[in-house]
Chains A and B, each alone.
Chain A
Amino acid sequence: MEICRKEYVGRMFSRLIFLGIFALSMAKQAIAKPIWDAQSETAFVELLCADESYFRKCFEVTQPVCRKTLRQAVKKCAGVTKGVTEMIPLHTKMGLCVGARVEKSWSDRKSASTDCRNREKWQ
């Protein structure tokens, strides 16, 4: 009886280990690693610095300056994504940080146009 219990516990233990490893490997497969990488940055910067974009239309900045500032802001905002384990929130946080930072730093260059005060116009 004692032997049986040991065998049972041992079998359960190895099953648990197996299941744990399996779950871990599945989890690794299942969840795309959240990351803000060069690709994200390129797409982000290109979209936000496009000719018709909010940042270009509402601030007196050239495209190179726009790109450069955004990239700098991305670096400064790197910390906000720490501990974020999902892709979309990670990107959202980064976007919010960068956008707000750039908006503030360019406040003296902002156009007086009413469109530039209307959020819906740019969403």
Chain B
Amino acid sequence: MGTMRIARPFYSALVLSILGLSAPTLAQPVATASAKSCPTNPDELGAMIDELKGTFECSGLNLRECNEYRAGLIGGGVAASVAAGIGAYKARPGLMACLMPGRTVSSLNSILKDEAEGRPVWAMLALGFFGPMAESAPSSCRFPTKELGKEFRDMSDEHFRESKAIRGEMLDRIMAQKAPDALKKIEVSDAEVRKQFVDGLDQLERQVRADTTGKLAVHKQWMLDDIAKLKAQYRTAGGYADMVADFGKFSANFNLQGKTEFIDAETLKKLRVWDMRDTIRAEKIANLSDPALKAAYQKALLELDTFADMSQMSGKAAYLKGLGYSPDFVERMVSAEGVRRNLQLRGSLLQGAAHDLNYGQLKGKAFLDQKELAQFARQRSLQFFDHPITRWGHMPGINNGVVQSVAKAGRAAMAKISSVAAGDLAGMAKYGLKGIGFVGSKAFAAVSETAFHMGDVHCGGGNPGQFVTIAYDSDKERCAASNERSDLTDAFLFGLSRDEQLKEIQQTNGTCEMLMGLHARYSPSQNWNLSCEGGEATLSGIGEDGSGQMIKFNTEGGMPNDVRWFSDDFDACAKVSFKEDQVEYADVYKYDSGGVCGGGQAIRMTEGAALSRAATRNQRQLMRQFSNWQKHNSFAMASAAGCCQGESTGFCPEGLSSGGPSKVRTNRSRGTTK
């Protein structure tokens, strides 16, 4: 019971912490409130949270209600805490300016995660709050996009590390089943990993104790406590799976980021426990003399990639069970995957929320009309709209509530979004703007007024946090995609300039000419093959589960630097039409993947405001249409721009040039429906 009593105020404290509020400031009248600087000292933060805990213990509830709360009706408690946080926000909107400066967030994060079992609840909540509240935010508010972006990256990294550790364990199991001889030669025992890591912790402990600068550990005792916990965990772990079971939690407490420059290389190497298996194994593989054993290892790696590419949780679970993992472990893994996806999704919302706060308040209303949108676009054009590779996950024309709905991929909401987005794009075109278009919730292409052609089909899709770069690999004569998310997501989250973004991409992909893709699944091994003959581009070899279909956009009208936008796993496509000299989307093909990559039924909708009504009315019929499409396993789209049209883009295999009217056809190995 004691812990329960703590839980609720903690939650409330968490909410308030997110909002930059504290108990003492809450006691002040709104009128006299001023944005004061947020504390950065961990002790001060801890004290603040303690105070909040006290303040919110059954705040405002009578004895009966308080008892009811404590009695454990979970729903009531959860809802009360959330509502209390909202109330706190509303009581103190003036403190928005003090919203989560990076350092404070980092400190809070480490404190809060400890109590919240490593779950970055605050971040989830923050995003939930920022959206709905954005319109009422004071004009002086600044959303710390960059800092928060980093926090998201850190969180994702933690899950990445956990996944990586588990991956090493899985590799062992695969090889134990399929190549036991090879495994014997390269096996990395738990004891080896444990020894290295505990050695590293010992070394670090000595360094922390000796550190007088505070650079290694601002709060020395906490760091030492964490080290002690980690050592105990790793010394007593029964096996590697047990060792990594709480890895997320520990790595969250023990975040090495920002400390690496103060720790010597040898210690650091030993502390990277998530890399330890790979490190030790790499040494062993290098010493293998038998090529057959090396090949067996490579094959096991490929199988792991296949596993990583599976988008269906049930498939993943079955695979893990097949490798002999316990049901508990499987559940944990699948749950971790869910968290990862959620993080990615939430990360994508970040951009939208940021834009809400920074720009959405421009007019203080949810939807800007076309003229206002155009004015806004002009105003920002130098910074954003002229960038062929700038990606917008959100725009002031689409309000935060809609974005939230997008994240959840509700079908009705999606229909609504499509209509809004089409309106946005039409509005931009009307005013002759270059810009980023939207279909569905997503930015999908850099367009200009000359880029609209009757009959073009524009598509969009994906979560804004998901990127893929596609480059033509001349050695392998194919288009290779690299969608390691961090390379590019950061570029956008961190608000890099266009040149910086390009540099980022070039570093990622060498000298290949680049294409930008949207909405790829996060998968380290996803590749696409492209053939381009007779002006027809055919994309094949896309995800085993049917995801990864790509649509080529119209790129006529000047997309500089040969940066073209592609998309796989689109959510919506629309056919360009004209009405009274205005561009309008005559048809919107909505392809609702239900928030999961690949698959889904498409809904064709009619134009304008009737989109969502039409979707409802025609849904069944349209589902049948698209079911046929799936059956035929291909989808031809009329597009004015061909893969090989015009100048060499680097995307087409050498020797091929433009043909006649072109099509993009996607071949899918297997469709999924949802």
- Please give the residue numbers on chain A whose beta carbons come within 8 Å of chain B beta carbons, in ascending order: 26, 29-32, 34-35, 39-40, 42-44, 46-48, 50-55, 58, 63-64, 84, 86-100, 102-103, 116-117, 119-120, 122-123
Contact = CB atoms under 8 A, between A and B. Distances in A.
Interface of chain A, helix or strand or loop or mixed? helix
A29 B29 CA distance: 8
B77 A99 contact: yes
B26 A88 contact: yes
B74 to A, nearest CB: 5
B401 interface: yes
Contacts of A88: 26, 56, 59-60, 84, 87-88, 91
B68 A100 contact: yes
B84 A52 contact: no
B31 A96 contact: no
The list of the 6 closest CB pairs from A to B, nearest first, reads A89-B60, A99-B79, A95-B83, A91-B87, A103-B75, A30-B29
B87 A119 contact: no
Contacts of A90: 60, 87
Given A50-B124, A99-B75, A42 B132 contact: yes
A42 B401 contact: yes
Interface of B: 3-4, 7-8, 10-11, 26, 29-32, 56, 59-61, 65, 68-69, 72-88, 90-92, 116-117, 124-125, 128-129, 131-133, 135-136, 338-339, 342, 345, 401, 404, 408, 410, 412, 595
A106 to B, nearest CB: 8
A93 B124 contact: no
B83 A91 contact: yes
B74 A50 contact: no
B60 A43 contact: no
B87 A87 contact: yes
15 contacts: A32-B30, A47-B129, A53-B78, A64-B410, A91-B85, A92-B81, A92-B84, A93-B60, A95-B80, A96-B79, A99-B77, A103-B75, A123-B8, A123-B77, A123-B116
Contacts of B60: 84, 86, 88-90, 92-93
B651 to A, nearest CB: 36
A95 B128 contact: no
A52 B77 contact: no
Given A51-B408, A64-B412, A87 B88 contact: yes
Contacts of B404: 46
Contact of A123 (B81, B135, B345): B81
Contact of A119 (B74, B83, B595): B74
Given A63-B410, A123-B10, A31 B136 contact: no
A102 to B, nearest CB: 6
A48 B91 contact: no
A120 B121 CA distance: 12
Contact of A54 (B32, B65, B78, B131): B78
Contacts of B131: 46
Contacts of A46: 128, 131-132, 401, 404
Contact of B11 (A39, A43, A96, A123): A123
Contacts of A64: 410, 412
B86 A31 contact: no
Contacts of B26: 88
A66 to B, nearest CB: 10
Given A30-B30, A31-B29, A89-B59, A48 B79 contact: yes
Given A47-B128, A88-B56, 18 more contacts: A30-B30, A43-B129, A44-B83, A46-B131, A46-B132, A50-B128, A54-B74, A55-B78, A86-B60, A88-B88, A92-B61, A93-B61, A95-B76, A95-B82, A96-B61, A99-B73, A119-B4, A123-B77
A55 to B, nearest CB: 7
Given A42-B132, A54-B78, A96-B80, A32 B342 contact: no
Contacts of A91: 83-88, 90
A120 B87 contact: no
A51 B32 CA distance: 39
Contacts of A96: 61, 65, 68-69, 76-77, 79-80, 83
A53 B79 CA distance: 10
Nearest to B410: A63
A55 B11 contact: no
Nearest to A25: B31
Nearest to B58: A92
A103 B73 contact: yes
Nearest to B8: A123
A43 B29 contact: no
A53 B90 CA distance: 22
